[in-house]
Amino acid sequence: MKVVDSHTAGEPTRVIVDGGPDLGGGTLGAQLERFKQEHDDIRTRVILEPRGSDALVGALLCDPVESDSVAGVIFFNNAGYLGMCGHGMMGLVVTLYHLGKIGLGVHKIDTAVGAVMVTLHDQNSVSIENVPSYCYRESVEISVKGLGLVTGDIAWGGNWFFLVQGIPVALKLENVASLTRLAKEVKRALASQGITGAEGQEIDHIEFFSAPLSVDANSRNFVLCPGGAYDRSPCGTGTSAKLACLAAKEKLGPEETWVQESVIGSTFSARYSILSKDRIIPTISSQAFICAESTLVVQSGDPFRDGIQ
């Protein structure tokens, strides 16, 4: 299986470019379900140790579904499958360019939750026009072990997020262990108290915010991903969810720039346009860089051929 690795603002992406599973036709949502039900061993083989890591996000390069799209993609991680992944989309775009499959300019890429427009400005600089995003519920109060009463917003940016402004731990790299523990407690509290996204969907991403450390940023965040790893980047879908909340509260206007800083200090530049009364279209910009081209090998008799689970 041939893969290309990249990172976007520090967060890694591994794209399967050859040797992936045959998922047949149909929508990417249907193909994702087929991947999940019939080929999940490939997900674990690519993502888990000893070949991968908890921070790694995988992307299966697929044929486009829509006639004017250049490619399709299914995203996955150590815990399962993702509808959309902002940093992963940027990694996919620079990978396609690296392989000579696309040139600079505007392209359309199909995902399981809808088509995404991307602009490749140069070999490393990408803007993605994400799926419609919205703030589902504002100022939701939950009781969290170790934190007490916590107030946050629930928003969709391609994945479900619970966004919390201000916790008693600085959003710094040396505090990642404590931040991870607290974010897991928030996630447990949401589940135990029956708080979900629309139509009962699980809120599987937790996002903490604070004032930025950089004078050029508007905010700093820490994002806990579904598999328990923190996002090294500012998180594309998480930044989209943040924009949706800012728009709903009229704290950021259309086309105004919001610079989101990650817990490692990398940044995404973001803005939005209005789609409808309660929906926005976020545009996220950053840089992604190719790290490696590899062939993953499976040998007979390997007890961890499908990853350490």
Catalytic center residues: 85, 235
CA gap 216, 268 in Å, rounded: 11
21 touches 39 (CB < 8 A) = yes
Residue 190 has φ and ψ, to the nearest 5°, of -60, -45
Helix ranges restricted to H, the chain: 28-38, 40-47, 86-98, 176-192, 236-248
Determine contact, residues 2/294, Cβ cutoff 8 Å. Answer: yes
Query: 174-194: buried (b, 16+ CB within 10 Å) or exposed (e) per residue?
Result: eebeebbebbebbbebbeeee
H or E element, residue 151: strand 148-156
> How many Å apart are CA 235 and CA 155, to the nearest integer?
14
- Does 64 sit behind a cis peptide bond, omega within 30 degrees of 0 on the bond before it? no
* 289's tokens: 């860089």
Is residue 270 within 8 A of residue 258, CB to CB? The reply is yes
DSSP state of 218: S
The three-state secondary structure class of 196 is coil
- 265, with CB counted inside 10 A (0-12, 13-18, 19+), is middle
- Terminus-to-terminus CA distance in the chain, angstroms? 20
